[in-house]
Structure 1
Amino acid sequence: MATSLAAGLQAISSSMTNMPEATANIISEARENVQKQFDVKSTIQPGQVLPEFVLPDARGVPVSSIDLLAKGPVLITFYRGGWCPFCNLALRAYQQRLDDFKARGVTLVAITPEQPDASLSTTEKNELKFPVLTDNGLQLARKLNITWEQPKDLVGVLNGFGADLEKRHGNDSNEMVIPTTLLVDQKGVVRNVYAEADWTQRLEPQEAVNWVNAL
């Protein structure tokens, strides 16, 4: 039986228990605070129309929502970055179900605040066969209300882990995307939304397949 994404995410969390106490406290406090601040009801909701966008893919080629929707429904998953082990695991889990989405005429797309050179590295590392797009300055994510301001001490910790967010994002903002997955029908109407402030949690790919089956 295949291991669930949740089990893999939990394994990553468990493996991080040996970090220095001060570092663990910074991460834990930031995680608790964003969960308290974030209101999923304030995000884009089912029945609303997805804002149109044109975003560069991992090779810098512009990709428009209009062109994507012309092919059929679109499943979009927003992730923090290639430095995030939870994101990488989730991307690989969705890659494993790519044929299920394609068989149902659905295009899978990942969106990140990272610049194309970083997203290309993530694409290659995880052997992704679906588009990975760059949301420069989180302009699209802001429209969906799925962003938050990271505290400086957390950014310092992440940079200490080698994230180098300023370089990866192409700006010095501490803003970060909330991991979110949404299904949009061919008319551009959002049908399902999963937005979770706890970045160690993600939507199971099987649940996304269930969404698609219900279209």
Structure 2
Amino acid sequence: MKTLLKIFSVLICFSLIPHPAIVKASVQDELDALRQKFLQNADPQRANDFEQGIADVKNSGILESALNTGEQAPNFKLPDATGTEISLYDLLKDGPVVLVWYRGGWCPYCNIHLNALQRTLPQIKTAEASLVAVSPELPDKTLTTKEKHNLEFYVLSDKGNQVAKSYGIVFTLPDYVLKHYNQFFDIVDYNGDQTHALPLAAAYVINRQGTVTYTFLDADYRKRAEPETLLAEVQKLKVTAI
């Protein structure tokens, strides 16, 4: 009996030790893995051009001039994948909004992030918040993205980056990066304009008063706001409102 009790005690202690295999991976871990896979297989010139493009965006001053925490979020009304107009301020009447920009359904980093956001959606809803993703893609392209990944949150089309411009998060792809994209897809076909402009992969949490309470800004599109962080921010707002 004593032997059995010792074995049982050891098993209990072992079960309390976190096992590496079951530690929840962050979205950034997934994104970093994709980046490493790209670097292992990419033409060196392409990889260098992409890195230079990121550096140029960072050095442009966009991160300093973009909408940030404590500022009022500009209202907007944009079509969803079915053409229904969605207003930010109308959503705020029901609770906080998690507002996320992505580059397009052609971007594998964006798709990883969108899928991770979908997994967090039930908890975001429990916190009485709405989740909205915006890209410059045409509505039929956003519909494809929404259906392909079974996204149950708002996916909106900001043609011409008009709303993204009001948030100060738009930059133009340099020719030395665009030439690589053109080898695989035509961004004009996705966005419906000739500007070759994209938004930063920015994220905002906006309270019911329209004030930004959390901001994620990075020139590197391979880095994204962790869904768990966004969730924690809206949960704070729910507690504050009680």
TM-score when scaled to structure 1? Answer: 0.95
Task: Percent identity, please.
Answer: 33
Cα distance, 1:91 vs structure 2: 0.5
Q: Distance in 1 between matches of 2:80 and 2:182?
A: 24
Give the aligned partner of residue 208 of structure 1.
230
Q: Assess if the C-alpha contact under 8 Å between 2:92 and 2:208 holds in 1.
A: yes
Please tell me whether Structure 1 or Structure 2 has the larger radius of gyration of its CA atoms: 2
1:93 alignment counterpart = 116
- What is the aligned partner in structure 2 of residue 27 from structure 1? 50
Alpha-carbon distance in 1 for matches of 2:216, 2:144: 26
Structure 2 stretches of 5 or more lacking a match?
Answer: 1-22, 238-242
Q: How does 1:1-215 map to 2 (within 5 A)?
A: 1-17=23-39, 18-162=41-185, 164-215=186-237
- 1:103-147 CA-to-partner distances (Å, cap 9, x unmatched) read 010000000000111111111111110010011111111111111
For the residue of structure 1 that corresponds to 2:156, the secondary structure is strand
Q: Deviations over 1:29-62 (max 9, x none)?
A: 1122112224423111222211111100011111
Greater helix content:
2
Task: Give the aligned CA root-mean-square deviation in angstroms.
Answer: 1.2
Separation in structure 2 between the aligned mates of residue 203 and residue 38 of structure 1, nearest angstrom: 20
Q: What's the CA shift for 1:10? A: 0.5
Please state how far the C-alpha of 1:25 moved relative to its aligned partner: 2.1
Consecutive unaligned residues in structure 1, runs of 5 or more: none
Normalized against structure 2, the TM-score is what? 0.85
Post-superposition, which runs of at least 4 consecutive aligned residues in structure 1 deviate over 6 A?
none
RCO comparison, higher one (Cα < 8 Å, 6+) = 1
Instruction: Figure out how many residues of one structure are paired with residues of the other and give that number.
Output: 214
CA distance in 1, matches of 2:83, 2:194: 21
